[in-house]
Amino acid sequence: MNQAVPFDRVAESLLAFWAEAGVDAMLHDTPVDRIEAGKFVPATPPEKKPLAAPPPQQPRAGAGPDVAGAIAQARQLAAAAGDLEALKAAIAGFDGCSLKFEGARQAVFGRGAADAPLLVIGEGPGPEEDARGEPFVGRAGQLLDRMLAGAGLSGRVFITNTVFWRPPGNRPLSAQEQAVCQPFVERAIELISPKMLLLVGAPSAKAMLKRDEGILSMRGRWFEWRSESGNLELPAMPTLHPAFLLRQPAAKKKAWSDLLTLTERLDRPDRGA
């Protein structure tokens, strides 16, 4: 006999099928103007000071005036955060990144040891991170954790991203989205004071090092990361993103070799300066 399947079972199974296929966001056919709708409040432009010197970071060409305001506001909030908890709260309260109003459930800041010698910086939260409020907790994050553990780095890392809200549908990040979050990333580096940075994936490496090179040519090499103010400098190594490694397992060998090179320097008594 042909029995009708209850609608909720059909819907549940269809949703599971979509989730398995990677569909993780519902987008409208037409864009929604969040500013018009009153949800996205562009940050107040910075106060004009009678200084001849330019501000430390200018909005990039075509970025729009609110980006400069948002960066200035992010800098102020970040500077006022005296520890990682305060920084996390400052990020959660920051309205200057439009990703916050594009369907993200919450801000995702970081996890790990507050005094870690290694800071790992990924691209941005995915669906699992968005749901749980912690970075790198999905399949890619589990692989990252296994690799860090294999290299003896468990408990010696703090993990964060270049942006703190999930891009809808995991679309690529814009330079503006990364730029407005950058002051918070820099403040995290100041507060944690790590010995070095591991930049995971091309969007992280390009944004942090301000280089437009492919990840395959940057990975495994040492670069000098410099803060916007120029006050902080740290050795930084780009490597392949674990999500890429899940798709291309043959590339794991390269990422593993990068991690061993980094660990060797991290554990060297003079740190190979």
How far from 135 is each of 129, 130, 164, 206, CA to CA, in Å?
A: 5, 8, 9, 19
Collect all residues with Cβ–Cβ distance below 8 Å to 141 and sequence separation of at least 6: 128, 129, 135, 159, 242
Helices (H) and strands (E) in the chain, counts: 11, 6
108 within 8 A of 165, measured Cβ to Cβ = yes
Choosing from 66, 102, 123, 186, the residue that interacts with ligand URA (CB under 6 A) is 123
What is the CA 77 to chain-centroid distance, rounded?
18
Of residues 96 and 125, the one with the C-beta less far from ligand URA: 125
Q: Is residue 235 at the binding interface for ligand URA, with CB under 6 A as the rule?
A: no
* Residue whose tokens read 């916007």: 228
129 binds ligand URA (CB under 6 A): yes
125 lies in the binding site for ligand URA (CB under 6 A): yes
Determine the distance from the C-alpha atom of residue 40 to the mean position of all C-alpha atoms in its chain, rounded to a whole number: 21
Give whichever of 75 and 111 is closer to ligand URA, judged by the CB atom.
111
Choose the binding region for ligand URA from 66-74, 109-117, 118-126, 172-180 (rule: CB under 6 A).
Answer: 118-126
Q: Rounded to the nearest whole angstrom, what is the least distance from the CB of residue 39 to ligand URA in the complex? A: 24
Q: Which stretch binds ligand URA (CB under 6 A): 4-12, 29-37, 124-132, 262-270?
A: 124-132
- What CA–CA distance (Å, rounded) separates 164 from 106? 8
142-147 contacts at long range (C-beta below 8 A, 24 or more positions apart)? 143/242, 143/245, 143/246, 144/120, 144/200, 144/242, 147/242, 147/255, 147/256, 147/259
The binder of ligand URA chosen from 141, 167, 194, 235 (CB under 6 A): 141
Exactly one of 40, 94, 109, 136 binds ligand URA (CB under 6 A); that residue is 136
Contact between residue 96 and residue 69 where contact means Cβ atoms under 8 Å apart? yes
Pick from 160, 153, 159: nearest CA to 259? 153
Q: Does 130 engage in binding with ligand URA (CB under 6 A)?
A: no
In angstroms, give the least distance from the CB of 101 to ligand URA: 20
Instruction: Name the one range near ligand URA by CB under 6 A: 88-96, 133-141, 205-213, 260-268.
Output: 133-141
> Per CB under 6 A, which of residues 55..114 are in contact with ligand URA?
none
Nearest residue to ligand URA, using CB? 122
Is the Cβ of residue 108 or residue 266 nearer to ligand URA in the bound state?
108
> Which residue number, 201 or 235, has a Cβ lying nearer to ligand URA?
201
Contacts of 193 (CB under 8 A, 6+ apart): 115
The candidate with the shortest Cα–Cα distance to 34, out of 90, 95, 89, 75, is 95
Q: Does 135 bind ligand URA (CB under 6 A)?
A: yes
**Could you give the string, one character per residue 146-185, with x where binding to ligand URA holds by CB under 6 A and - elsewhere?**
---------------x------------------------
How far is residue 139's CA from residue 173's CA, in Å, rounded to a whole number? 20
Q: How far is the CB of 199 from ligand URA (least distance, A)?
A: 10
List residues near ligand URA by CB under 6 A. Answer: 122-126, 129, 135-136, 138, 140-141, 161, 201, 243
